[in-house]
Amino acid sequence: MNDLIQPKRWFLGRKLANENLEGQLLPKFIALPIFSSDALSSVAYGPQEMLLVLTMGGIGLLSAAPAIALVVVALLGIIVFSYRKIIKAYPSGGGDYEVAMKNLGKKWALLVASALLLDYVMTVTVSIASGTDNLISAFPSLNPWRVEIAVGFLIALCAVNLRGVRESGVAFAIPTYLFMGSVAALIVTGLIRAAADPAGFVSPSAHYEVVPMSQFQSITQTAMTLLFLRAFASGCSALTGIEAIANGVQAFRLPKIKNAQKTMLMMGSMAIFSFIGITALALLSKVHYAEDPVVQLKGWVGGLTNPQMSVMAQLGTAVFGEGSWMFYVLQAATAAVLLLAANTAFNGFPLLTSVLAGDKFAPKALLTRGDRLVYSNGMLSLTLAALVLLIAFQADVTRLIQLYMLGVFTSFTVGQVGMLRHWKRLRLKKTDDPNEAAMNRQEALSGTIANGLGAFMTFSVLVIVTATKFFDGAWMVFIIMPVLYAVMYYTHRYYSMVENEIRMDDKTVFGAKGDYAIVLMDKLNKPQLKALDYALSSRHTHLEVVHIAVDPEHAKKFAKTWKKYEKEIGVPLRILESPYREFSAPLIQYLQEHRDKNDKERISVYMPKLVVGHWWEHILHNHRAGRIRKQLMYVRGVMVTLVPWRLESAEYKDLFARRPLPGDSRRGQFVRPAPRRQRGLQNKVSRVRAKRIDED
């Protein structure tokens, strides 16, 4: 096992004790990049997707972009304000799920949970795909390896997060703040350049003539309205990730609520500033970004190694100049923060699944913290799901984003409605203190206005997204979410059934009459004799050795050998015939017949187990014993006792244990003993040194 443990230590680092948990909690300046990288990075593709949709109808429809952007920003502000309220009201980390559970009931909570789980998986896939897209915009020759690059980024993110929340926060803080600074520099410098030289401030795609898509060349009023709604829905992708802070309040340092609220405000302010600034620069520099550039952009010549530049790359070229060092800084920071946006999900998803596991809607393994005090099982589950989607959709942002929006706005809408119920209860809460009652009414009024407006707007977006993106791939969400819902529902029902079955009651009576034990033996060797010795020391009422005669010739030889030691050992041998060369079936039949004759007698089965030290030794040992043990567990009244025999390869080797230093024994410091072979070598060296001293 040490061969398995040591690489794990290299990969993750030393284990952290429970008392180190407070040291792993996050200050605001680290929590911001961890929980806000998704919301901040979405400004890199939110305006891009909005412009892409509007360009379908021709260049004239881009004039609607400012109005659509303002509506998106207004919705963003409302949701930020409402989530500050959720943080204060429900700080345990459940977010929209907890709001729905406590105000709307289990069914609505499971709907939110399924939406959030899908949202986190899509956050990882869309962020990594978008980050890869921006990297390829700077280095087009990497385009043929798009999927491989995205998968590599996913594995790297998982590895960093498995080392711990604080470690990942420190690692990701610099790229996130670099992105925030470079975007601020981009917007300020771009606006100055646009004001100083409007005619010279143009993007690389400004000279391409835009041709509307064939279905929009003779656009009607209805089609135009639908296109505007679709553009609004695509722009709302910039709202993704806002809920992450509300789902991760427990990861903040004390005072948790205030720190989380301040971080939420900082995130919202930066996201609004970036969204408005990037949209304004894109319109001023005449960015033309098309879904099908070959058809829509006259004169554009692309290919596998010359893909369409992202909006951020075009703005970087227009503001800083093509090939300038700031252009590469911006692209590197954008690619990094888009990749790190997936880190929001790597923190939010495990926290949410731990809450679900605590409520018995998910496997209990998701409730356990790993060596580094993170929910490692949740992180690995998220990585696996994201890996499948990245490969299936070839890391294509436009295809993946169609699955993104429905889950996000489903949880937004249900959470807002749940908060309306919360404010109603607070308003009707009875109290003898008139000041407290007035404060409750005032807070309930402001909350009702904010969450009511938020519920209306997020539900509207949900309807728009469903109507405009359903046939583009969003229909898959209507399959995935019900499946997740059903899995959680039946997991909870199963746990409830098991809990009810094992609950104490007056009907179940414990107490065995009689004590019968057998030792399974195949040959006489040290491990099997140790198992027999352990059974003898337990002083059972009746004990015998059982040999299963799979090979008749071997059984005869074993019986003959046993007779030589039977008097000395004092335990009888029973040989069970096995005409079909099975190990478990004859043994189970024998034990069941014995139990039928001796009702309520306790039966113990002793088996040796070799303890090995190398991973490859597991392939060579213990398989037959493992199969027998698993089948015996289903036989009522039978207990299986494994007696370990450590092979020499299982000697404890601790890579991190230091060598003894002079004075350790005198100071009473414990030093882990060296392995047997190492001790032998050390003793030999000591003897040689002693001999030399005597000679001197």
Whether residue 34 is found in the same domain as residue 151: yes
Mean pLDDT by groups of 10 residues along the chain of 696 residues: 46 47 62 76 80 83 87 87 83 79 90 88 83 78 85 84 61 80 91 88 83 70 78 79 76 83 88 90 87 76 68 88 86 78 78 86 80 72 89 80 76 89 86 83 86 86 80 80 93 90 75 83 90 90 92 91 86 90 90 83 90 83 88 89 85 47 50 47 46 48
514 backbone φψ class: left, alpha, beta (φ>0; ψ -120 to 50): left
In a domain, 382, yes or no: yes
Q: What pLDDT is stored for residue 549 in this prediction?
A: 92
Whether residue 62 is found in the same domain as residue 133: yes
Inter-helix orientation angle 46-55/65-89, to 10°: 150
User: What token pair was written down for 654?
Assistant: 């601790």
Whether residue 452 is found in the same domain as residue 598: no
Whether residue 641 is found in the same domain as residue 574: yes
- Beta carbons within 8 Å of 691's beta carbon, 6+ residues apart: none
Helix (H) or strand (E) holding 645: strand 638-646
In a domain, 501, yes or no: no
- Beta carbons within 8 Å of 428's beta carbon, 6+ residues apart: none
The identity of residue 120, as a single letter, is Y
Tell me which of 465, 495, 525 is where a domain ends.
495
In a domain, 658, yes or no: no
In a domain, 197, yes or no: yes
CB atoms within 10 A of CB 334: 32
Whether residue 255 is found in the same domain as residue 363: yes
Extract long-range pairs of 533-540: CB within 8 Å, 24+ residues apart.
Answer: 534/606, 534/641, 534/643, 535/604, 535/606, 535/641, 536/571, 538/604, 540/515, 540/516, 540/604
Whether residue 466 is found in the same domain as residue 528: no
Whether residue 201 is found in the same domain as residue 242: yes
CATH code of the domain covering residue 161: 1.20.1740.10
Whether residue 128 is found in the same domain as residue 41: yes
Structural domain count of the chain: 2
Whether residue 413 is found in the same domain as residue 353: yes
**C-alpha separations of 183 from 134, 177, 326 in Å:** 14, 10, 11
- What is the domain range of residue 174? 2-495
Q: What pLDDT is stored for residue 94 in this prediction?
A: 67
CATH code of the domain covering residue 589: 3.40.50.620
Whether residue 370 is found in the same domain as residue 444: yes
**C-alpha separations of 128 from 282, 402, 424, 448, 596 in Å:** 23, 15, 41, 37, 62
Report helix, strand or coil for 281. helix
Q: How long a stretch of residues is the chain?
A: 696
